[in-house]
Amino acid sequence: MTNTMTHEQLALSAAEGANRFAAMVRQVDKVELDYTRDSVDRLSALVSSKRGEWLRAMNETQRHRFTELMGCYFGECVRRLHEGSWVWMGQDAAVQVSGTSEIHFALPFSNVQSHLQIGDEKSLAVLYRGFEALVRGDGRH
Q: For 36-87, write each residue's pLDDT tens digit.
A: 999 999 999 999 999 999 989 999 999 999 999 999 999 999 999 999 999 9
Using CB atoms within 10 A of its CB, is residue 1 exposed (0-12), middle (13-18) or buried (19+)?
Answer: middle
> Residues with Cβ < 8 Å from 125, sequence gap 6 or more?
40, 41, 44, 45
What is the pLDDT at residue 139?
A: 57
What is the pLDDT at residue 4?
A: 82
Mean per-residue pLDDT for 14-24?
97
- Domain spans of the chain? 7-136
At residue 141, does pLDDT exceed 50? no
* Fold assignment, 7-136: Four Helix Bundle (Hemerythrin (Met), subunit A) (1.20.120)
Mean per-residue pLDDT for 12-32?
96
The SS3 assignment for 102 reads: coil
* Average pLDDT score, the chain: 92
**What is this structure's pTM?**
0.93
Q: What's the rounded Cα separation, in Å, for the pair 113 and 115?
A: 6
Calculate the alpha carbon distances from 99 to 14, 40, 49, 83 in Å.
22, 20, 32, 10
In DSSP notation, 19-30 reads HHHHHHHHHHH-
Percent of the chain surpassing pLDDT 70: 96
